[in-house]
Chains A and B, each alone.
Chain A
């Protein structure tokens, strides 16, 4: 069982069906929010100059791990759905940029209209087709 979970979240080989992808994404989303709530606590603040807009390193490392797991899970799902390999980059690259920007404190106020918010929206828009493909497309026959 533990081997299955490790392969599902950390291996780029093999395939994942729609149910596995949806459940895995739900688990990762919970892990992301739980991790931020737990690790992005300023009583643990070790960020440079204690800037409240910059997440703690613990939260950043945790999110990096969650992101890696999401990309690995999506790679398997896209393969099963028969989507082209480049589609994975439309998830991985914007997610990586968003992670770095968040780590730099750019997305500290995501609901306040600003250039940064627009940038975040653009990154999410790039990811949408591949994510919808993962969530909806049936397994490729044959």
Chain B
């Protein structure tokens, strides 16, 4: 139970940390999808926005469940001590890469784009003739969740390291929820966030904060990093189902 809470907290924190990135990259998509549904009143607008974001988070959860299930046997192969070290190191390296690429210091992870972009295009073509505003909003959200995005790749990597399908799905569900505040704000037209995301100094600051957090997970002395490193050393050791 405690490890699930930590997994949730880790995914949610990653989602929240992505706020500026999401607002800059996906703010226009969020607003565009809402206008596509042409809501007739505020209540319908809220319903369509909820369906769109639900679709997006469902895509994340499905992808997280898949990579979590694939990651479990890979991690189960390793010796317990090595598995823990691998997860800690890979998590730190991934978080640093996400942070530094958000800050514009390192190139974004683009290899995944080649896999995700054709899937998103195909799904968009399938969804285009759907009848009804609700179905269109949901399909739009599902497609949106498969759009190439560096932050999603980072979260998926964390989901893979969770070592189980449930853990992977949980990380991505929490990540999706963490991205909600920023994206909802841009959906309803708060342009300040989008403008903030375009300011280099802010992007660099937010990215460096994520990178430093990643670095601290391997630099702080053992036993002192539970506060910032979720899942913690002990939680991770008990969470991985070695050989199962």
Quick check: B104 and A61 within 8 Å, CB to CB?
no
Q: How far is the CB of A12 from chain B (nearest CB, A)?
A: 9
Interface 1/0s, chain A 19-52, versus B by CB < 8 A?
0000000000000000000010001101111000
Q: Using Cβ atoms and an 8 Å threshold, which residues of chain B touch A3?
A: 200
Distance from B236 Cβ to chain A, minimum over Cβ atoms (Å): 12
Q: Return B114 CB to nearest CB of chain A, in Å.
A: 21
Q: Is the interface of A mostly helix, strand, loop or mixed?
A: helix
Q: Which residues of B contact A65 (CB under 8 A)?
A: 96, 100
Given A43-B221, A44-B219, A49-B81, the answer on whether A57 and B105 have CB atoms closer than 8 Å is: no
* Size of interface on B: residues with Cβ below 8 Å to A: 22
Chain A interface residue count, CB cutoff 8 Å, equals 18
**Is there a chain B Cβ closer than 8 Å to A130's Cβ?**
no
What residues of chain B lie closer than 8 Å to A39, measured between beta carbons?
219
Asked whether B85 is an interface residue with its Cβ less than 8 Å from the other chain, the reply is: yes
A96 CB–B CB distance under 8 Å? no
Which residues on B sit within 8 Å (CB–CB) of A47? 85
Closest A residue to B96 by CB, please name it. Answer: A61
A44 to B105, CA, bound (A): 27
Contact B201 A2 (CB under 8 A): yes
Are A61 and B215 in contact, CB atoms less than 8 angstroms apart?
yes
Whether B46 sits at the interface, judged by CB under 8 Å, is: no
28 contacts between A and B (CB under 8 A): A2-B201, A2-B204, A3-B200, A6-B104, A6-B105, A10-B106, A39-B219, A43-B221, A44-B219, A44-B220, A46-B85, A46-B218, A47-B85, A48-B82, A48-B85, A49-B81, A57-B88, A57-B89, A57-B92, A57-B218, A58-B215, A58-B219, A61-B93, A61-B96, A62-B215, A65-B96, A65-B100, A68-B106
